[in-house]
Amino acid sequence: MEAVTPTLKPSAPAAPTSTLAPPSGTQLLVAAGGFFALGLAASLGSGSAATITHNLPGTLFTSIGALVLTGPALLVAHQFLRLEASPVALATALGRGFHVSGRLALGLAAPMLFFSATSTIWTTLLTLALFAIGAMGLHATLTWLVNVETSAGADLAKQTHMYLLSLAWCALTGLTALRIAVDVLLFV
């Protein structure tokens, strides 16, 4: 009698699929409107025309400008490193991050209006709000960028490269936003 040993083939788990849908035009307009509303709310309580000219474009230009100036660098570096995710998936993650940031800015517009109308600490609160919005938006974007790479079937080494690339991109975006904010404040 001959012994029969079953042969089992190792099966790799299926790569998770990305269900991240690109933000619609309406969602992007809501995000831009959120930053505009935050700047408007901070400006209304100040009563100064110079403050209005700083805050209205400043909140919107800082966020959009940083994304527009650093987004292509992320896409180019991603392709240079020969990572797995498609550029469309990366752009979707960037758009989603902007949408999250804009919705958060829209949510903070009402408290900002209250503080700008009733106290003199609105400049400090606007600075803190923009820092918090940027940090949360960059965190959400970083998470989506790494998830998009993982969903594309990247191995552990490529996932690590994507994580480090995303961290570097977040640092570059934060510094770019800071530079734009300073330029907007010094413009008028």
pTM of the prediction? 0.83
Q: What is the pLDDT of residues 72-112, one digit of tens each?
A: 999 999 999 999 999 999 999 999 999 999 999 999 999 99
d(CA 169, CA 81): 14
Asked if residue 188 has pLDDT above 70, the reply is no
What is the Cα–Cα distance from 101 to 31, expressed in whole angstroms? 7
Give pLDDT tens digits for 1-37: 566 655 655 444 444 455 778 899 999 999 999 999 9
Picking from 88, 90, 105, the residue whose alpha carbon sits closest to that of residue 31 is: 105
**Segments making up each domain of the chain, as ranges:** 25-187
* Residue 40 clears pLDDT 50, i.e. is over it: yes
pLDDT tens for 43-57 read 887 777 777 777 777
What's CA 114's distance to the chain center, in Å? 26
Backbone angles phi, psi at 12, to 5 degrees: -80, 140
Residue from 175, 39, 182, 43 nearest 105 by CA? 39
Q: Which residue has the tokens 């831009």?
A: 32
